[in-house]
Structure 1
Amino acid sequence: MGVYRVCVSTGASIYAGSKNKVELWLVGQHGEVELGSCLRPSRNKEEEFKVNVSKYLGSLLFVKLRKKHFLKEDAWFCNWISVQALGAAEDKYWFPCYRWVVGDGVQSLPVGTGCTTVGDPQGLFQKHREQELEERRKLYQWGSWKEGLILNVAGSKLTDLPVDERFLEDKKIDFEASLAWGLAELALKNSLNILAPWKTLDDFNRIFWCGRSKLARRVRDSWQEDSLFGYQFLNGANPMLLRRSVQLPARLVFPPGMEELQAQLEKELKAGTLFEADFALLDNIKANVILYCQQYLAAPLVMLKLQPDGKLMPMVIQLHLPKIGSSPPPLFLPTDPPMVWLLAKCWVRSSDLQVHELNSHLLRGHLMAEVFTVATMRCLPSIHPVFKLIVPHLRYTLEINVRARNGLVSDFGIFDQIMSTGGGGHVQLLQQAGAFLTYRSFCPPDDLADRGLLGVESSFYAQDALRLWEIISRYVQGIMGLYYKTDEAVRDDLELQSWCREITEIGLQGAQKQGFPTSLQSVAQACHFVTMCIFTCTGQHSSIHLGQLDWFTWVPNAPCTMRLPPPTTKDATLETVMATLPNLHQSSLQMSIVWQLGRDQPIMVPLGQHQEEYFSGPEPRAVLEKFREELAIMDKEIEVRNEKLDIPYEYLRPSIVENSVAI
């Protein structure tokens, strides 16, 4: 009994509104009432009306809705519905939706307070939870793009995806328009340069236009400097490979006459200033064949020393792993002839691009986020607090990954056209990299400790990653603490346990042997696991993604392929370097793709700034506001720090870290 004010919010995307009529029901603890056909929802509008209910409902649990069409089905994107009881109590209820309403079936929106199965002793939401997960498991099924990889969502085409995983129109238009622009730029570059000679490093300037960044110009001007070469291992596009040496690598064999070099390395090792970047993951990967021309790969090892001024300087490069029965591979030094040393560094940079795009970016960013997404949709109902906590960080991941599988790493895709790991080598590398997906490596406090980067003052990636992890961790603890008061509450949450097990045993194909948990036994362990998921989808992906435009636009600094074999002698010339680096078309296509994927995204949501409100009530909102305050403080402090740096480190600034893997 009483009067209720009902407000219905419709999304802002182009087709969010509907000409169909929407019927509503209110469901409370003590009954249900039909409100009838209340509205035809209009795009980007909040529509409000009052209803007089003659039945006592008690506390509201659900709003049920049905969209009825007469002649034409017309999907509706519902943001949320709020219901306020008018009178003495003035109770207000929030029912989040944030999905498309399609067809004419009845849908139920549970109240936004959120609860676990443990927190629902009367089973008020039990039937809804079971029905929702049953429907979701039909929509979200596991698939396997390639044998031997972690799993992905089933379906090979965009139309196979659930409608709620698709780009909204603004995102779709921007993405496809930028692709068309990039291809047009590629055609123009090729037509303007096809008859011009391609003989010197300066010739790369002929395609170095449109969409480059300030730092990309700095890279173009300084890419041959050893200090910039070393800097990239600390703070470039792929800061995930560098580690402090605890001994000289077994693969580093010193040919006769290299005793002085060995002594120098041992001196740095003893001082704790010796670092290494080992690309052994590329060993024995089959190299691509592009237009009947064999391409080449190397598996370099780089040894570097950390100077007192914070610069990381290369000491030696080994391009090949030693082979039994063969002479030791040559070691390339900064004292070698300039073109010899430059060519060795180009091989390292090309190897770094392959490992960056396939291992650090695709596998450890995109494909991991896809596992989290599918497992979440299959195991956690929308009323579950962990679903509410993590779902903003899963937005658009499935579509961007399907697009990648259909355009970048597909047969005859970009990798096959220009990358030395294309033509099947990229799949082989992904398969081999799966063995290194350890739980510790996805958690910066553990990963940075294992790699010896804690306390390295010139590693801005390490400093910012650790701080951002801690901020996200406090946010997760704040939300989880509202729903899990004891470790027993975690252990007894069967949905949470199912979600964890689905990620580790199914999505990650038995990753418990790499340290991933199959169950969560305490509040602390659950918070750590959820923090890992959110950080992977936000800060970690952004730290790898955002540097592409800066570091990969100048092609000699990140060659997509190498057209001659790795050198075994020290007689390289400029002609050798140019014959090894990518040709005009390969370079132009690399720049076009890097621009499309690395440019500033006009349709993006910064970390923590999602407009969707999945939680209702003041306590979760207060936790979110505290999270946003801490992010703003970190952002400002990075801005102040960067003003003093020769090369600002931006990739973990909260204001430009995307809230999900959406590009």
Structure 2
Amino acid sequence: MVNYEVILSTANVVGATTFNNVFIKLVGTDGESDRSWLMNLKGPLAFTTGAVSSFNVSCSESIGKLVLIELDKQRLLIFPEDNWFPAKVEVKSPEGDTYNFPVYRWITDNEVHRFREGKALRVFDDIHHLGKYSREQELKQREEDYRWDVYAEGIPHSIKSEGPLSLPCEVRFSFTKTTEFLFTAASGLTELQLNGLADSKENWTDIEDINRVFCCKRTAISDYAQEHWKEDAFFGYQFLNGVNPILIQRCSALPKNLPVTNDMVCLPGQSSLEDEMKKGNIYLCDYKRLDGLEGNTINEKKQYLMAPLVLLHRTPDDKMMPIAIQLKQTPGDDNPIFFPSDSEYDWLMAKIFVRSADFSEHQLNVHLLRTHLLAEVFAVSMLRNVPMVHPLYKLLVPHTRYTLQINNLARLLLISETGVFTGFAASGGEAMFTILKRSLSSMTYSSLCIPDDIAERGLEAVPNFYYRDDGLRLWDIIHRFVQGILSFYYKNDAEVQQDSELQAWISDIFEHGLLSQPCPGIPRSFTTVAELVKFVTMVIFTCSAQHSAVNAGQYDYGGWMPNTPISLQLPPPTTKGTTSEATMLQTFPDVNTTVQGMATMWLLSKQSSDFVPLGRYPEDHFSEEIPHKLIKAFQGELQDLSEAIKARNKDLEVPYTYMDPTEVENSVAI
């Protein structure tokens, strides 16, 4: 007889305990053990939350190198069926070898579940017949569990589900995450009800009254925004370091539909508009995706959604200052171009319409489509096509945590027919899906890869552009890590080309994410290691750093409504000299619209206590030494960047923290 020592760890998460009987079978290259009941002196406490328990499994002879294990649990008569979350199993063989089996899955039934040894295997490495069979069965089950669905025509496909509780257990929120999410939402709504604001359909009559909304929910930057929101310098700063830093671009020639001439603008010194464009000091923000769209109807009142063009100037003291705003795309007598030299409220109202347009562009294109919906496509495609033993799964699964449930909740609570965005945003009606379709059809691969994006927009030399500075460094760190991992497993281009699971992953992304429509630059298949490395870098960057950059500051910049109105209920002036403070207050969204928007932004900006920062991997999916060393080096580089960002922020009036690795979540989880 030979003995195998089995060390089984139950995850340290709420509800991970089982009091059912647990059984294991060891499967090796030369045979398999009997199905063995795991029993030791701990008795029913052996599988409680956080427990690490040791057992002996005996075989008549060695079963060779271990290929997989089979786990199942069976309820006792006195205990009901329960859910169990084993973390990993370690097996020490009589030959002195140690095998690691990452599990990290909820086992909720009494069926047999197979788990592979931790060494990553590409599909053509998997030569043992039982290993190949296990791989095929896993993907077959995954295709059933993770099915594609069409939520709306023209936007990326999503996971098919009846609601959050119908999602597979392993992709749902933890108990902690669920509890905190519901508490944050409920406490915000309760506060609004107590303040008597949630049901008020009245206009704001005094701007100071807006302070009553969430008077206790403030951040340093939301306070700064309240104090400086009227200032041109802060308006311009937000195009670089606010929640939508991907629209601004260098302007070398004015668009034909923006007829600004040199004598219209006031530039420092003797410079002309043409000279400043040649020097690279003129910048443009064009909201053309919003053109021609009807605004929503809120509280039985028509709302207004503009498609502005904004011209900005980089001043000699390195500020980004607006110099001209046209609120509609087509020039005309009823579409004046506004300038800082106009009356106070003409100019301020023009900026308010821009900030409201920026809210819609940000929420639907920059935030929802380009992080949430893409992250879901990356995740569902991986779960359908890539088994747990594959190196790509091990690399990417931490970056899919909670994404499917948060998106499910977004479809349920935000963009459904009764959702908050649908009901209270200017772009929440018919315009919403038009914007999403236009955004997807205009998306390019280079715009998803920050080094290419910055170069294409001509922003390499813009000063005080912290999104760019931190983002480029983060991209480089992630790229080196991904290159190290994937180059360890793929030694040449031919190995990439012959990996059918990799090819199925990217093919599914192209079909269900891009809807098989041309998206310049995005590969339909992988032909080289370098191509694979860049794409996986983009995936991780999108799911972590980019999402943090466009999500974490929502309440900072939207917590003071006048800086980011989610809707406006008067049209912009068609002639100058007709606006006042009263006009501005009448244009702002109603009280209930304001507070619903602020409550949602508060909820979506709130970190949970089980937040996992970029580069931290509580679940150990890799077992080889080289990936472990690469992970450690990755964490070291992220720590160095975090320290550099913190040191820089000490000297900034408005700190930029959204790409500090300690503040960046591993996945789209909120």
TM-score (structure 2 length as normaliser): 0.95
Equivalence for 2:30: 30
| Equivalent residue, structure 2, for 1:104 | 110
Is 1:277 aligned with 2:294? Answer: no
1:93 aligned residue (85, 95, 99): 99
1:43 equivalent to 2:49? Answer: yes
Structure-1 residue corresponding to 2:16: 16
* 2:606 counterpart residue number: 599
- Please state how far the C-alpha of 1:554 moved relative to its aligned partner: 0.3
- Corresponding residue of 2:426: 420
List aligned pairs for 1:530-569, cutoff 5 A.
Answer: 530-569=536-575
Indicate which of 623, 641, 644 corresponds to 1:616: 623
How many Å apart are 1:256 and its aligned residue?
A: 12
| Contact in 1 for aligned 2:86/2:106 (Cα 8 Å) | yes
Write out aligned runs for 1:435-450 (5 A).
435-450=441-456
Q: Deviations over 1:180-236 (max 9, x none)?
A: 001111112225996998323222222251221011101101111100000000001
Give the 3-state SS of the residue equivalent to 1:496 in structure 2.
helix
* 2:325 corresponds to: 317
**C-alpha displacement of 1:102:** 2.1
Alignment of 1:641 onto 2:644: no
CA distance in structure 1 between the partners assigned to 2:458 and 2:548 by the alignment:
22
Of the candidates 382, 390, 409, which is equivalent to residue 376 of structure 1? 382
**Residue-by-residue CA offset, 1:536-571 (whole Å, 9 max, x unaligned):** 100010000011121000000000110101221122
Tell me which amino acid in the other structure corresponds to 1:265.
L
Give 1:445-484 correspondences, 5 Å limit.
445-484=451-490
Which residue is 2:224 aligned to? 218
> What is the distance in 1 between the residues matched to 2:324 and 2:6?
70
For residue 35 of structure 1, report the CA deviation from its aligned partner. 4.9
> Any idea what the Cα deviations from partners look like across 1:376-423, whole Å, max 9, x if unmatched?
011101100001100000010000001000101111211133211112
Q: CA deviation at 1:619?
A: 1.3
Query: Are the structure 2 counterparts of residues 107 and 439 from structure 1 closer, same or farther at C-alpha, using a change threshold of 3 Å?
Result: same
Conserved in 2, the CA contact under 8 Å of 1:330 and 1:568?
Answer: yes
Partner of 2:125: 119
Residue 631 (structure 1) aligned with residue 642 (structure 2): no
* Counterpart code for 2:179: I
C-alpha distance 473-254 of structure 1, shift in aligned 2 (>3 A): closer
- 2:622 aligned counterpart, secondary structure: coil
Taking the TM superposition and a 5 Å limit, the aligned residue runs for 1:263-412 are 264-322=272-330, 326-327=332-333, 329-412=335-418
Change (3 A) 1:260 1:462: closer
**Matched AA of 1:6:** V
Do the aligned partners of residues 451 and 257 (structure 1) sit closer, same or farther apart at CA in structure 2, a change above 3 Å counting? closer
1:153-172 correspondence to structure 2 within 5 Å: 153-172=159-178
The alpha carbon displacement at 1:458 in A equals 1.2
SS at match of 1:340: helix
What runs of 5+ residues in structure 1 fail to find an aligned partner?
Answer: none
SS in 2 for 1:368: helix
What is the CA–CA distance in structure 2 between the aligned matches of 1:506 and 1:333, rounded to whole Å? 44
Q: Which runs of 5+ in 2 are unaligned?
A: none
Q: 1:121 to 1:63 in 2, by over 3 A?
A: closer
Q: Are 1:33 and 1:55, in contact at CA under 8 Å, matched by a contact in 2? A: no
Instruction: Give me the identity figure in percent.
Output: 40
Write the distance in 1 (CA, Å) between the matches of 2:452 and 2:261. 36
* Distance (Å, rounded) in 1 between the aligned partners of 2:147 and 2:403: 15
Q: Classify 1:259/1:476 alpha carbon distance in 2 versus 1 (closer, same or farther; 3 Å).
A: closer
| CA shift in 2, pair 1:149/1:193, >3 Å | closer
Corresponding residue for 2:210? 204
- Residue 53, structure 1, aligned to residue 59, structure 2: yes
Partner of 1:83: 91
Which one-letter code corresponds to 1:11 in the other structure?
A: A
The Cα shift of 1:238 comes to 0.9
Shift of 1:367: 0.3
Q: Structure 1 residue aligned with 2:512, among 496, 501, 506?
A: 506
Q: 2:147 is matched with which residue? A: 141
- CA distance in 1 between counterparts of 2:146 and 2:464 reads 44
Query: Deviations along 1:88-115, whole A, 9 cap, x unmatched?
Result: x531111011111122211111001111
Q: Contact 2:289–2:435 (CA<8 Å) still a contact in 1?
A: yes
Change (3 A) 1:208 1:569: farther
| Contact preservation (8 Å) 2:177, 2:608 | no
Q: Structure 2 CA distance, aligned partners of 1:647 and 1:222?
A: 11
Distance 2:521 2:199 in 1: 52
Report SS of the residue matched to 2:33.
Answer: strand
Distance 2:590 2:202 in 1: 12
- 1:582 to 2:589 alignment: yes
Distance 1:600 1:155, change over 3 A: closer
36-45 or 446-455, which deviates more: 36-45
- Report how far residue 267 of structure 1 moved: 2.5
SS in 1 for 2:106: strand
Distance verdict in 2 for CA 1:314–1:142, change over 3 Å: same
